[in-house]
């Protein structure tokens, strides 16, 4: 465990303890952990399994079934490119190729500086203004390579405030 993961076991235990009594507790626990940590650490799986009295394979099966759940720590920003038909009809394939080349990663990978994780998504509900990209909870439409480059520059630029 490195210094960035200090406190992770306590966080997992707290979330599991607070949600394990809910009906169908597995998904709320997984969402709680991912919302808090950004991913589901492998070490969380036996803790969840023990609390819910199910097997670790059951927990792992749910984590691996849903694309939403990540089992590796993402970069500081997760950039999701819409790959649905409407966005593809508006140039998402070319944007996808540009994004992969610009970031030097494929889908599911994180840039070497750990600033951006690139993920596919299959409809952001923003079809009229595709191709669309989501960063966190913000959806950006009419994305083209130039706008994508500006987005990446904004995400990777640290702004200093001078007093």
Q: N- to C-terminal Cα distance for the chain?
A: 37
Q: Is 48 labelled as part of a ligand binding site? A: no
Q: Is the dihedral of CA 40, 122, 144, 141 positive or negative?
A: negative
Q: Is 87 labelled as part of a ligand binding site? A: yes
Q: Is 155 labelled as part of a ligand binding site? A: no
36 by DSSP, 3-state: which?
helix
Q: Count the residues in the chain.
A: 163
Q: Is 82 labelled as part of a ligand binding site? A: yes
134 by DSSP, 3-state: which?
strand
133-135 and 116-121 strand pairing: unpaired
Query: Annotated binding residues, as ranges?
Result: 82, 87, 123, 127
Binding-site entries for [2Fe-2S] cluster: 82, 87, 123, 127
């Amino acid at each position: 465990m490195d210094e960035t993961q200090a406190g992770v076991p306590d966080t997992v235990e707290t979330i599991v303890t607070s949600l394990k009594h809910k009906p169908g507790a597995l998904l709320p626990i997984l969402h709680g952990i991912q919302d808090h940590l950004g991913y589901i650490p492998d070490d969380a799986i036996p803790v969840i399994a023990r609390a819910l009295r199910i097997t670790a394979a059951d927990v792992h099966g749910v984590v691996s079934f849903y694309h939403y759940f990540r089992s590796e720590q993402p970069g500081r920003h997760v950039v999701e490119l819409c790959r649905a038909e409407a966005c593809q009809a508006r140039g998402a394939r070319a944007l996808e190729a540009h994004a992969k080349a610009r970031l030097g990663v494929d889908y599911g990978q994180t840039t070497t500086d750990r600033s951006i994780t690139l993920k596919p998504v299959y409809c952001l509900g923003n079809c009229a203004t595709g191709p669309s990209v989501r960063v966190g909870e913000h959806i950006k439409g009419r994305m083209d390579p130039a706008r994508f480059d500006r987005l990446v520059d904004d995400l990777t630029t640290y702004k200093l405030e001078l007093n």
